[in-house]
């Protein structure tokens, strides 16, 4: 009942441990999954905000560059001379000055963004009529921008009211503007910056603009495996066009997310590996603790039973002698029985003390070269003195080397095996103690009997402390469950090993293999 209660306590403790470790780990896993999923979005937002601000600065630089190109075109026209305004008092465009148009057309624009400079009338583009009217009403040295899609081609103009009171239309080269964007970005931002800045044509332009888009990509080609992280639309006269910031190479958000995901999975594997190892060790320790508790419970029950029998006999014989109920030979028999039962009690206590000394390491071994014949003689003397009411045969191969052992300790180990053979054989006892050569040059000591044998699943447990086979013969045989455990511990302390071979109903052989002194 106590063992069952302890098992329930162990299971309850294990369930609490399981909940206490798994629930936080599951919450941690859920949090990590959400964090990794949000990490890429957070990186993309950060990059977008960062590069959007830079595109805002670059957009201002592009606008300033267009302003500078318009001013340069006006200066080029003014420096060419000529007389008479293109826009006189008779109206915004009263009378064209052919000489001025000729001078303006023949003058170099003075800026790489300007394709050509002429009067608005000379362009023959209806989209310039209204911008030219508005420019004529502006103060001198003022300008405005206009765009036209006439003829299926996008054209951009700077309509300028020059200092010489002329109104001119300077056509701006879109390809030159696109080529100017990376240069402006390089001048504005550090050279180590991974970002690539480009001007993009409308996403879905009509066929003529599709050609322009291809030309823009030729002027400022996209970098391989580039990722657009931010876009900013341009205003007039470049409405429809977009400034784009690209990061060359792999997508940084994807790279960071992959790196974080890899680290997270690796740490998660380590976490669950640690939890698994911890659970395994905990289960093993709990099973050992439960098994030890059960063994102790069984030991208390066994030792109580074993001690009760001789104590009852001692009390009975002592009471008989005290009351004087027996005389002569019967009195001597009672005294012999008292001595025998006292010897049994002494043997049980001695086994417990031996195990305690072996467990605590207080049993010191005095190893010395020992001949196997001398060891067997010493074992036989002790066995005969114990008066177990049986004998055994001794077999010894010739020419065996000496072994380095503590003679008393090894004799105790062999005696424990002999006692085990005596207890678990029937009336027709055939017990043999053999000495022969073992494998790998070792010396083997064997104790064989013709007893009931040991069941296969018990062969590994019979060397455990306090363990006794659960069968009818064991229940009717005295013992503490320490004899074989003590024998195994003594043999291992000498650097040897102990093995068992058994067949049910045919007998058992215990084999001790010890290294020779050489």
b/e code 440-478 from CB counts within 10 Å (16+ = b): eebbbbbbbbbbbbbeeeeeeebbbbbbbbeeeeeeeee
Provide the pLDDT for residue 59. Answer: 92
Could you please report the per-residue DSSP string of 62-83? HHHHHHHHHHHHHHHHHTT---
Look at residue 95 and tell me whether its pLDDT is greater than 60. no
Q: Which stretch of 52-66, 125-139, 146-160, 329-343 has the lowest confidence by average pLDDT?
A: 329-343
Could you tell me the two tokens for 135? 């420019």
Look at residue 434 and tell me whether its pLDDT is greater than 90. yes
Q: How confident is the model at residue 478 (pLDDT cuts 50, 70, 90)?
A: low
Q: Which stretch of 53-62, 369-378, 439-448, 452-461 has the lowest confidence by average pLDDT?
A: 452-461
Partners of 118 in beta bridges: 169
- Cβ contact 113:173 at 8 Å: yes
Residue listed under structure tokens 């380095």: 404
Measured distance CA(58)–CA(118) in Å, rounded: 30
Look at residue 449 and tell me whether its pLDDT is greater than 60. yes
Which residues touch 13 (CB under 8 Å, ≥6 apart)? 286
Mean pLDDT of the chain: 76
Measured distance CA(407)–CA(144) in Å, rounded: 116
With DSSP H G I counted as helix, E B as strand and the rest as coil, what are the percentages for the chain, rounded to 5? Answer: 55, 15, 30
Measured distance CA(122)–CA(98) in Å, rounded: 10
Q: How many Cβ atoms sit within 10 Å of the Cβ of residue 326?
A: 15
**DSSP state, residue 112:** T
**DSSP state, residue 222:** P
Partners of 18 in beta bridges: none
Q: How confident is the model at residue 290 (pLDDT cuts 50, 70, 90)?
A: confident
Selection from 17-26, 62-71, 307-316, 383-392 with the highest mean pLDDT: 62-71
Provide the pLDDT for residue 444. Answer: 92
Q: How confident is the model at residue 302 (pLDDT cuts 50, 70, 90)?
A: low
Q: How many Cβ atoms sit within 10 Å of the Cβ of residue 377?
A: 12
- The beta strand positions in 179-336, using DSSP E, are 195-200, 227-233, 242-247
H/E element, 369? strand 368-370
Question: CA of 15: how far to CAs of 11, 224, 285, in Å?
Answer: 6, 56, 15
Look at residue 56 and tell me whether its pLDDT is greater than 80. yes
Q: How confident is the model at residue 479 (pLDDT cuts 50, 70, 90)?
A: low
Q: What is the mean pLDDT of residues 99-115?
A: 58
Could you tell me the two tokens for 168? 């001119």
Q: What are phi and psi of 208, to 5 degrees?
A: -60, -40
Q: Which residue has the higher pLDDT, 374 or 325?
A: 374
Q: How confident is the model at residue 406 (pLDDT cuts 50, 70, 90)?
A: confident
Q: What is the mean pLDDT of residues 257-282?
A: 78
- Cβ contact 269:25 at 8 Å: no
pLDDT over 90 percentage in the chain: 8
Q: Nearest-CA neighbor of 246 among 226, 225, 231? A: 226
Measured distance CA(157)–CA(220) in Å, rounded: 22
Could you tell me the two tokens for 259? 């790196």
Q: Which residue has the higher pLDDT, 57 or 320?
A: 57
| Orientation angle between helical segments 252-322 and 329-360, nearest 10 degrees | 160
- Cβ contact 189:54 at 8 Å: yes
Q: Which stretch of 147-156, 194-203, 249-258, 470-479 has the lowest confidence by average pLDDT?
A: 470-479
Q: What is the mean pLDDT of residues 118-137?
A: 85
- Cβ contact 104:119 at 8 Å: yes
Provide the pLDDT for residue 73. Answer: 85
Residues recorded for the chain: 518
SS3 of residue 269 by DSSP:
helix
Selection from 35-39, 101-105, 326-330 with the highest mean pLDDT: 326-330
Look at residue 20 and tell me whether its pLDDT is greater than 90. no
H/E element, 20? helix 2-78
Provide the pLDDT for residue 80. Answer: 64
Could you tell me the two tokens for 454? 């040991």
- In sign, the C-alpha dihedral spanning 314, 315, 317, 323 is positive
Residue listed under structure tokens 């001790």: 512
Provide the pLDDT for residue 91. Answer: 32
Look at residue 134 and tell me whether its pLDDT is greater than 80. yes
CA dihedral 195, 196, 199, 200 (to 10 degrees): -90
Q: Which stretch of 51-60, 68-77, 150-159 has the lowest confidence by average pLDDT?
A: 150-159
Provide the pLDDT for residue 467. Answer: 67
Q: What is the pLDDT of residues 220-236, one digit of tens each?
A: 555 555 678 888 998 88
Which residues touch 368 (CB under 8 Å, ≥6 apart)? 404, 405, 406, 407
- Let me know the angle formed at the C-alpha of 215 by 209 and 216, rounded to the nearest 5 degrees: 90
- Cβ contact 477:423 at 8 Å: yes
Question: CA of 164: how far to CAs of 76, 103, 168, 227, in Å?
Answer: 11, 13, 11, 49
Q: What is the pLDDT of residues 158-217, one digit of tens each?
A: 899 988 888 888 888 888 888 888 888 888 887 645 678 888 877 655 555 555 555 555
Provide the pLDDT for residue 461. Answer: 77
Look at residue 320 and tell me whether its pLDDT is greater than 70. yes
């Amino acid at each position: 009942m106590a063992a069952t209660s302890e098992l329930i306590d162990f299971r309850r403790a294990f369930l609490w441990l399981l909940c206490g470790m798994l629930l936080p780990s599951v919450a941690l896993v859920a949090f990590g999954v959400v964090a990794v999923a949000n990490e890429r979005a957070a990186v993309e937002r950060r990059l977008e905000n960062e590069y959007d601000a830079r595109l805002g600065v670059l957009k201002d630089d592009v606008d300033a560059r267009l302003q500078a190109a318009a001013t340069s075109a006006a200066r080029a026209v003014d420096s060419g001379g000529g007389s008479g305004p293109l826009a006189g008092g008779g109206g915004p465009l009263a009378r064209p000055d052919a000489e001025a148009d000729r001078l303006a057309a023949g003058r170099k624009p003075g800026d790489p963004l300007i394709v050509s400079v002429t009067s608005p009338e000379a362009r023959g583009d209806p989209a310039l009529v209204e911008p030219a009217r508005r420019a004529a009403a502006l103060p001198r040295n003022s300008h405005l921008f206009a765009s036209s899609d006439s003829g299926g081609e996008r054209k951009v103009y700077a309509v300028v009211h020059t200092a010489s009171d002329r109104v001119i239309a300077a056509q701006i080269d879109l390809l030159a503007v696109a080529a100017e964007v990376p240069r402006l970005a390089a001048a504005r931002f550090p050279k180590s910056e991974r970002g690539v800045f480009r001007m993009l044509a409308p996403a879905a332009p009509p066929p003529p603009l599709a050609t322009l888009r291809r030309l823009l990509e030729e002027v400022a080609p996209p970098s391989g495996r580039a990722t657009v992280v931010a876009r900013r639309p341009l205003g007039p006269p470049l409405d429809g066009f977009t400034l784009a910031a690209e990061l060359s190479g792999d997508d940084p958000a994807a790279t960071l997310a992959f790196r974080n995901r890899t680290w997270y999975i690796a740490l998660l594997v380590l976490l669950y590996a640690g939890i698994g190892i911890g659970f395994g060790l905990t289960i093993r320790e709990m099973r050992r603790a439960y098994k030890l508790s059960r063994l102790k419970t069984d030991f208390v029950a066994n030792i109580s039973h074993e001690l009760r029998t001789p104590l009852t006999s001692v009390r009975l014989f002592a009471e008989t002698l005290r009351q004087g109920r027996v005389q002569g030979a019967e009195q001597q028999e009672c005294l012999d029985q008292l001595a025998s039962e006292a010897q049994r009690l002494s043997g049980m206590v001695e086994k417990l003390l031996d195990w305690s000394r072996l467990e605590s390491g207080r049993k010191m071994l005095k190893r010395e070269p020992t001949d196997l014949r001398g060891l067997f003689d010493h074992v036989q003397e002790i066995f005969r003195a114990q008066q177990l009411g049986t004998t055994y045969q001794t077999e010894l191969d010739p020419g065996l080397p000496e072994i380095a052992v503590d003679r008393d300790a090894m004799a105790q180990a062999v005696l424990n095996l002999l006692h085990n053979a005596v207890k678990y054989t029937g009336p027709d006892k055939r017990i043999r103690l053999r000495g022969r050569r073992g494998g790998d040059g070792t010396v083997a000591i064997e104790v064989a009997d013709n007893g009931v044998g040991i069941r296969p699943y018990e062969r590994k447990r019979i060397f455990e402390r306090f363990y006794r086979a659960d069968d009818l013969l064991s229940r009717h045989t005295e013992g503490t469950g320490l004899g074989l455990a003590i024998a195994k511990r003594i043999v291992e302390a000498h650097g040897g090993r102990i093995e068992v071979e058994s067949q049910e109903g045919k007998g058992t052989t215990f084999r001790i293999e010890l290294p020779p002194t050489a």
